[in-house]
Chain A
Amino acid sequence: MKLSRRDLLKAGAFAGAATALPLQRMVSGIDAFSRRMPASKLPTPYSVPFARPKSATPVMSTANKDYFRIDMRATQLEILPGYKTVTYAYNGQVPGPVIRVNQGREAIVRHTNMLPKVHDRLAYEPWTSVHLHGSASLPQYDGYASDITRPGESKDYRYPNFQPARTLWYHDHGVHHTAQNAYQGLVAMYIMSDPLEQALNLPSGEYDVPLHIGDAMFERDGNLLFTLDDASGMWGDVFLVNGRPWPNMQVKRRKYRFRVLNNCISRSLDYRLSNNAPFHVIATDGGLTSEPLEVTHIRHAGAERYEVVIDFSNYTVGTKLQLLNTSPQNNRDYPNMDRIMQFEVTGESFTTLDNNLPPVLNPSSPVMALQESQAVATRAFRFRRIGGAWTINGTTWADVVSSNYQFTLADPLKDSVEIWSLENPSGGWFHPVHIHLVDFQILDRNGAPPQPWERGPKDVVYVGEGEIVRVIMKFEGRGRYMMHCHNLVHEDHDMMGQFNVVDPAQAGDDPMGTLAKPIAQMGPLVP
């Protein structure tokens, strides 16, 4: 090679230019963490008081319907003491307002996207799609990922509320931006009650407590820091419980019902009380268990809900108990991510009317009565990363889109019972798998019985490293519904597909059949 110094300089001008910009982009990805707020500026765990999300008030109720209006807006909130954080909030709250409904009353919710046209830091258009997680809604009201509501648009969602009492949650499901939207605050609970649950006299009112457990990372200016970690997940260094960092909750010397939702974007939890005292699981994703399940810890993936009763009656006033996290494998850990929140026992008086934990809860759940012998089909779904893309049986949501939303991973018959085998062959990550529309029963995990806390109706299951989890379900309803990994970064990077519940007598509704409209074209919410 005969290059003169001059030739080398000229070629160097090209070489430098060609590599500098990509190098800068690569380094800035790594460098995102350098913008992270130092741990010394984060609040000391348990120094911030606990808060509960407020409830939504219906704009109107009729004999059998309740109407709600929820606006999504960019809202500045104080999450870390002394800092303002721009969030995306339902009705100005993070987490959003709790919608409370009774079984048998339809809810109509007008969701309006008043978010900015473009996210000022992440440079994406924050289109949304609202999924009521846990509801057997019609396909067009299920938050189908591609059924988006763009900024300046609105859509009325109809929720049937015919299922048993349960803790649901509504959250963003907009195609490719679910993780960012949910991370910034578009999550909230939706609590449905029924006569069976009400008759049990479980802790209620102030003793029935929603617990959103999320994680976040902050920039030095207090704004949320969003990183993708090579599309493996978003891992925060602060636990937020109902939007408060590592809060301290004052509790009375009695039983409390906690509705625990892991709304972390990617993180899974394994939590226990600091004294390892047992507590009782009374409900899972799809509602009450047959009886209280005594546990000392729960492995809890994103989107799962566990309702637990903790009895503080045996503790002396002033006792402090912490809810601690033993992080399951393949999470990214930071200091203080081994603690979630604190309970401080007080001597305040309380009512004993609903201080109850009955020995029998719901012994006749149809899904928990399903038997393997009833299954007419068994299907296998492999959740794998292939060439950078997260896939289900080698396919992604892009296959659904490119087929004009016709491509399906399965076509079960309406009212049929099937067993689905959910397989994670990797040792490098776990997948919380969510199947829309249905409640399912976990049959086994790698051939072993489900974990003690999982023995109730579910709609998300933790499919851990190297695990094969078999679930059984009955397909009531009809039409196309999504199934996906609920690590929202995996979901956005396309680990999502759909199945079609086929009714030979009638076609299912089109999930893209009732689209959002510009706000000005929306008629009155209440007819």
Chain B
Amino acid sequence: MTAVVERPTHAGRAVRSTSMDVAIALAALAAIAHLVEAPYHFQWWPASGITFVVIGLLQAAFALSLLRSEPSPRLIQVGIWGTVGVVLLYLVSRTIGIPFSPGVPVHGAKLLPGMPLLPDGDKQVGPVDMLTLVAEVALVVVLLGQLPRRARRRTANGLMWCGLSIWGLAILGALT
């Protein structure tokens, strides 16, 4: 079964579903948040700033592609799992820390694993972080609803296992 992403109007023109409008808004919100935050992260570590720019641009491109035409199930899958990847990366950064992030370049001193560069600086969760995270999670759920039934079931199972794995790691103390 194909997802219904457009509905006919009285004039015969196709318009997007409300769900797709929501998905576009959520993707755009996440894109803006990443792009706005990029300069600050670039100051800390250029690779982090570049990552923010790349994520922001990809999310913007995704929002644009949803805006322009009816997305294929494949594109929706890319949107879902790409967003899940961003969410997981964020989770790691706010728990165990990015393992390959730089130490403080002072004569031989390196950060201990999971130790932030600035005191709590890179593990703080602010309102903007939380808003973006919620937008991304909501985007995943909205996109899931756009998939054909079979793909939706498979993807929902994947998301469930992903979630259970996170819970399991948290319970085992691997994500603190």
Contact = CB atoms under 8 A, between A and B. Distances in A.
A19 B109 contact: no
Interface string A137-166: 000000000111010000000000000000
B104 A387 contact: no
Contact of A231 (B117, B121, B134): B121
B129 A124 contact: no
A10 B160 contact: yes
Contacts of B39: 386-387
A401 B175 contact: no
A10 B106 contact: no
A230 B120 CA distance: 10
**What 6 A-B pairs are tightest by C-beta distance, nearest first?**
A1-B145, A13-B163, A14-B163, A17-B166, A387-B40, A10-B160
B109 A148 contact: yes
A13 B44 contact: no
A496 B167 CA distance: 41
B119 interface: yes
Interface string B99-143: 000001111010110111111110111110110011001101110
A175 B106 CA distance: 9
Contact of B106 (A9, A146, A388): A146
A7 B175 contact: no
Contact of A26 (B90, B125, B162): B125
Contact of A11 (B114, B124, B127, B141): B141
Contacts of B137: 14-15, 18-19
A398 B44 CA distance: 7
B19 A1 contact: yes
A175 B105 CA distance: 10
A169 B154 CA distance: 66
B59 interface: no
Given A146-B107, A401-B104, 6 more contacts: A1-B145, A10-B157, A18-B137, A22-B90, A22-B125, A118-B115
Interface of A: 1-3, 6-23, 25-26, 29, 118, 122-125, 127, 146-148, 150, 175-177, 179-180, 228, 230-231, 386-389, 396, 398, 401-402, 492-494, 512, 515
B171 to A, nearest CB: 11
B119 A176 contact: yes
A11 B153 CA distance: 10
B91 interface: yes
A148 B91 contact: no
Contacts of A21: 91, 94-95, 166, 170, 175
A191 B138 CA distance: 61
13 contacts: A6-B156, A7-B152, A11-B159, A14-B137, A14-B160, A26-B130, A29-B125, A125-B115, A147-B107, A176-B104, A177-B119, A180-B119, A398-B44
Contacts of A6: 156
Contacts of B144: 3, 7, 11
A388 B130 CA distance: 16
Nearest to A230: B126
Contacts, number: 165
A178 B43 CA distance: 20
Contacts of A16: 163, 167
B73 to A, nearest CB: 13
B57 interface: no
B156 A18 contact: no
A1 B147 CA distance: 9
B29 interface: no
A7 B163 contact: no
B6 interface: no
B130 A23 contact: yes
B33 to A, nearest CB: 12
Contacts of A22: 90-91, 94, 125, 129-130, 133
With most chain B CB atoms within 10 A of its CB, the pick from A8, A25, A231, A512 is A25
B78 interface: no
Nearest to B36: A387
A486 to B, nearest CB: 17
Contacts of B175: 21
Contacts of B167: 13, 16-17
A181 B61 CA distance: 46
Contacts of A18: 87-88, 91, 133, 137, 163, 166
A321 B125 CA distance: 45
Contacts of B14: none
A515 B107 contact: yes
B84 interface: yes
Contacts of B84: 14
B37 interface: yes
Contacts of A401: 104-106
Nearest to A387: B40
B91 A125 contact: no
A152 to B, nearest CB: 12
B153 A7 contact: yes
Given A22-B133, A150-B109, A15 B91 contact: no
Contacts of B120: 228
A387 B84 CA distance: 26
With most chain A CB atoms within 10 A of its CB, the pick from B37, B149, B166 is B166
